[in-house]
Structure 1
Amino acid sequence: MADQKSNTNQRLTQIKDFLTMNKTASTIPWDPDCTIFPTRKELPQINGAPPEAAWVWGDNDYVGRINLLTPTRVQAAAKEIKTGEIVSVNLPLDVPNQPAFGREVFKHEIKVLHEDIAYDDIYHMNTQSGTQWDGFRHFAHIPTGTFYNHTKGSDIVGPAANQKCSIHHWAEHGIAGRGILLDYRGYAHKKGINYDPYDYYPISWEELYQCGKDQGIDIRPAAQGGDIKIGDILFVRSGWKEAYDQKSPDDRSKAALRHGSGLGGEDGQRYAGLSQEEKILDWLHDCYFAAVAGDAPSFEAWPTHESYHLHEYILALWGMPLGEMLDLEKLAQKCREKNRWIFFFSSAPANCPGGVSSHVNGTAIL
């Protein structure tokens, strides 16, 4: 009876798609070129996966939502280039001078090959000490200890280590698409909303909706009548870089070295970011962003006040690249000057087999 009902529903979907010229993702593995995808509440249960896992692109898939960056969508995104102005979103490699969460300080060494003739240089760095992509090996679904698409810690380190969820998969595919900036910090200044980006401050869905409305953008997915298209890349400016620039070097170091394990509710590391709430989860999932990114050491408000982290959903359950500490200051300024918040974006992750994460190496083109 269940199979008969499933076949009937599938047939109805096919008829509806024929009449509306759409293509619905209904059979796993999903076709990235589909135009209709399930909402978070409609996700199918994947055998052997945690609830709400969207491991839907195939057994050997390790790029997740990057699959949505199809040639058709990238070509359409290129049409957002109007003036050709290039804006880098990368902090200098030595910023912040003292990284948060106990990460190693960046070190740069000049190597003399031949005095006055030839030089090399050597970098010593943690890929997440500055502008970064959190790769799928970075953060697991904590209750099950599972990373994206059935990957375990034993796949990452130890005698059975392999290349599941390695960052090089992203590099081989490439990241390019339509970027959308929500300048929440600029909106907050405009509306007299005061908060410290170096303290816990959850930015709610309603606040982001009002921010988008102020910019002339309906942040709901296109399927719900909004302006967000499948495969868009989201950027949220919370103001961390603005606050960093206003601090003395000593205050920057003190803030970065606040005690904390990085996971507990008593974490001394505290930052503004997206709220852990159902509306945010539904929105991040249902928009089918290809990637999301912010300007703070944590994309989500830190530490979480809920029993879960957004990192678990974004990285482990949905396979969505997560960027942090992007320099969005110049981009926000340019977008505000032109009253254009949509642009073409490209990123070149490190082609490091077995790698966990990468600097973003990202560029917005207006």
Structure 2
Amino acid sequence: MSSVKQRLVQTVNFLGGGQQSPSSLPWNPDSSAFPRRKDLPKISGAPEGAAWVWGKDDNIGRLNLLTPKRVLHASSLIKTGELIPLNLPLNNPDPPAFHREDFKHTIKELADETCYDDLYELNTQSSTQWDGFRHFAHLPTKTFYNGAKASDITGPNANLKCSIHHWSEHGIAGRGILLDYRRYAKANGIHYDPCSGHAIPFQELVKCGRAQGIDIRPEAQGGDIKIGDILMIRAGFVERHGELSREERVKLIAHRTENDGDLGIFQFAGVKQEEEIIDWLHDCYFAGVVGDAPAFERWPTQQSYHLHEYILSLWGMPLGEMWNLEGLAAKCAEEKRWFFFLTSSPANVQRGVSSHANAIAIF
């Protein structure tokens, strides 16, 4: 965006009253501009840096930004109607990372040779998934999004606070953006194994975006990212996984022979834990962020915190992992087009923690 256009956007926001005041709670999802992370209000009873700004009974966080107006605008990206499914098979990765259970599928015969059912036994975190707000707490305070506690999730007083079914009832649809870091890295001599702790810093994402013709700053700062966009970063895990034998996957990904309680033995490429990344992820006001690796962020963390804490518990931003971005990356490169319409339908399970994504990109 030119400096003239940037000033025009800022002027319209100011004069039109569309800019959200930090202290005016709850925030209006239809606002045309939102406060930066450094300007977040202090919320009574919340951890430092919490953006619990959509109301005390809110359960959907940044999905509030997927307003009818933004969804309608995103639908204008549909030009050819081509569908790109983004879901791995339910038994992929095989075996799963982080000591999760294998997917089990049984076919049940209801009537001799004429009628059948499926029976699934699965962990919703074992394939293409959304991490729900019940999945990961702010560790120092043991607090989940919008003040939820462990007692809200399990035990005699368990309830529906931050349950995944709220996402299902709202729905997920909007403008998706792909940053194909794997393609950029290969083109620029950056050699790494996605099954290693390779960290992707903000400045490399800036260069990746520039190579794709995208300014990855928020629109309010002169960039191309719109409020409510759904970010996808391809780090190359799915590509690498497909190159490995099952024996290699057991060794590099599943660590089935290691101590089941030690998650630090796992290593995956992902977004770097750093202040530039945290500010960017917050200030763009993404409705969700997605990666193709098992953790989205570089695993294990290089800091005293996890990005999961910011994304899920402090901000209420849906976090997708192990999405199959291979076909999408090929289509985007072919079309030289990195924005598209995205739909996802989380499971309608009351008290649910997370869900498979059931996601499709539409061109």
The SS at the match of 2:265 is: coil
1:351 positional shift? 0.3
The answer on whether the counterparts of 1:106 and 1:126 sit within 8 Å (CA) in structure 2 is yes
Structure 2 counterpart of 1:20, one-letter code: L
Contact map agreement 1:17 1:24 (CA 8 A) in 2: no
Instruction: Report how far residue 97 of structure 1 moved.
Output: 1.7
Root-mean-square deviation (Å): 1.3
- Kindly state the Cα deviation for residue 18 of structure 1 after the two structures are TM-superposed: 7.8
Q: 1:76 to 1:89 in 2, by over 3 A?
A: same
SS at match of 1:123: strand
Code of the residue aligned with 2:348 in structure 1: it is N
Match of 1:211 among 198, 208, 211: 208
Identify unmatched segments of 5+ residues in structure 1. 1-15
Q: Is the 8 A contact 1:100 1:256 kept in 2?
A: yes
- Cα deviation for residue 17 of structure 1 reads 6.8
Structure 2 counterpart of 1:4: none
Q: Which letter does structure 1 place at the counterpart of 2:334? A: E
| 1:282 lines up with 2:282 in the alignment | no
1:303 aligns with 2:270: no
Matches within 5 A, 1:1-366: 20-26=15-21, 27-258=24-255, 259=258, 267-366=264-363
User: What number of residue pairs does the alignment pair up?
Assistant: 349
Is the CA contact 1:350–1:359 (under 8 Å) kept in the aligned structure 2? yes
Query: What is the SS of the residue equivalent to 1:178?
Result: strand
Alignment partners' CA distance in 2, 1:19 and 1:125? 50
Determine if contact 2:13/2:19 at 8 Å carries over to the other structure: no
CA distance in 2, matches of 1:251, 1:365: 34
The one-letter code sitting in structure 2 at the alignment partner of 1:205 is: F
Q: 1:22–1:36: 8 Å Cα contact kept in structure 2?
A: no
Q: What TM-score, normalized to structure 2?
A: 0.94
SS at match of 1:346: strand
* Equivalent-residue separation in structure 1 for 2:261 and 2:12 (angstroms): 46
Residues 241-274 of structure 1: CA deviation (Å, up to 9, x unaligned) = 110011011111222332466786xx11000000
> Is 2:271–2:297's contact at 8 Å kept on the other side of the alignment?
yes
Partner residue in 1 for 2:8: none
Determine the C-alpha separation between the residues in 2 that align with 1:254 and 1:332: 27
| Secondary structure of 1:72 counterpart | helix
What one-letter code is carried by the residue in structure 1 that aligns with 2:57? Answer: N
Q: TM-score, with normalisation over the residues of structure 1?
A: 0.93
- Which whole-Å CA distance do the structure 1 matches of 2:337 and 2:330 have between them? 10
- Contact conserved, 2:13 with 2:33, CA < 8 A, in 1? no
CA contact (8 A) 2:195 2:253 kept: no
- Tell me: CA distance 1:66–1:18, structure 2 relative to 1, closer, same or farther (3 Å): closer
Query: Aligned letter for 2:208?
Result: C
Percent of pairs with identical residues: 60
- Stretches of structure 2 lacking an aligned partner (at least 5 in a row): 1-10
Which of 319-328 and 244-253 deviates more? Answer: 244-253
Q: Matched residues in 1 for 2:304 and 2:94: separation?
A: 32
Q: How many angstroms apart in 2 are the aligned matches of 1:18 and 1:129?
A: 43
- AA aligned to 2:16 is M
Matches of 2:239 and 2:211, distance apart in 1: 21
Q: Which amino acid aligns with 2:20?
A: A
| Alpha-carbon distance in 2 for matches of 1:237, 1:115 | 46
